[in-house]
Amino acid sequence: MKNRKIGLHTFMAVPAFALYCLFFIYPLTKGIGMSLTNWNGYGQAEFIGLKNFVDFFKDSRAISDIKTTVLFALGSAPLLNIVGLLYALLMNSKFKGKSVARACIYMPAIISPLIMGYIWYLLLQPGRGVIFNLLNQMGHPEWFPNWMSSYTSEIVVLVLVNVWQYAGMTMIIYLAGLQNISQDLYDAAMIDGATGWQSFRFITLPLLVPSIRINVVTNIIGSLSVFDIVMSLTSGGPGYQTETLSIYIMRMCYGSKTGYSTAVAMIMFLIVLIPVLISLRLTRTRD
């Protein structure tokens, strides 16, 4: 009877395993093979070994793109979790208009990031954007500096726009976790004389670990693979100053360097995988 159950469970897992192989294992192995070739996307592929990887690390533009991608992720992922958690704590309290507030916070997340980026570009465009024109009519154009004049200000604007759009999605996951925490635990803590901070530290945070794990992983992946916001706001410029790895991959692929762009995609896969595995390990230990 036990063997029949094991056989049935194995049989039921076959469709899921087949889909996993079709959409992950096969593309990954195919990508590894392509990354070892000098292929332009349509001609005959030529095996060149690890030359694409060596060329990548010799390219100063590629190294700069890694720096930009990592800096964006270091700013975006923590802020998304902090702002999302603060939103969730606020939305978990009782006040009038809470449903409308939740909808307003979450609404930017359902809009295409490319469209959202263009909207923000119309607002923030230096010298002729909506905000600049409003301040100019007020007689204070100096209040709106050219944020594209420095690398630091560009990264800050990109991070803030990304956080503004996706904090609502992070909020929803934290809110679901908060609503699964029994009120009895807070009542017992209050009877024992616990302060609000102590209740948050010893009850809320430990019980939010599953939600934290989901948000940390998804935000790391999303931040390290950012494309749309950067493309619409700065197009990776000026020059290649704010270009990220995902934009670099796209441009190399369209530049008839398909084999090379696939190698860069493999490197980007590892760059995303390492912090994800570390965060999963840390949250699992905490759990």
Rounded Cα distance, 249 and 265, in Å? 7
Q: Which two tokens mark 87?
A: 């939103």
Kindly report the backbone phi and psi dihedral angles of residue 38, in degrees, each rounded to the nearest multiple of 5, phi listed first. Answer: -100, 85
Work out the average pLDDT over 85-100: 89
CA distances from 116 to 67, 77, 81, 112, 232 (A): 24, 19, 20, 6, 8
Parse the chain into domains and list their residue ranges: 53-286
Q: Could you tell me which of 242, 222, 221, 239 has the C-alpha nearest to residue 153?
A: 242
pLDDT in tens, 158-183: 999 999 999 999 999 999 999 998 88
In the predicted model, is pLDDT for residue 287 greater than 60? no
In the chain, count H helices and then E strands.
15, 2
Backbone φ/ψ region at 182: left (φ over 0), alpha (ψ -120 to 50), beta: beta
Q: pTM for this structure? A: 0.89
Question: What's the gap between Cα 167 and its chain centre?
Answer: 11
Taking the domain 53-286, which CATH number applies?
A: 1.10.3720.10
In the predicted model, is pLDDT for residue 1 greater than 70? no
> Quick one: pLDDT band at residue 7, thresholds 50, 70, 90?
low
CA angle 92, 93, 97 (to 5 degrees): 95
Lowest-pLDDT range of 3-7, 21-25, 168-172, 254-258: 3-7
Residue 187: other Cβ atoms inside 10 A: 10
HSE, side-chain direction, 13 A CA sphere, residue 139: 0
pLDDT in tens, 205-232: 989 999 999 999 999 999 999 999 999 9
Mean pLDDT score across all residues of the chain = 88
Query: Whole-angstrom distance between the N-terminal and C-terminal Cα of the chain?
Result: 35
Three-state secondary-structure class, residue 47:
strand
The helix-helix angle for 258-286 and 26-35 (nearest 10°) equals 130
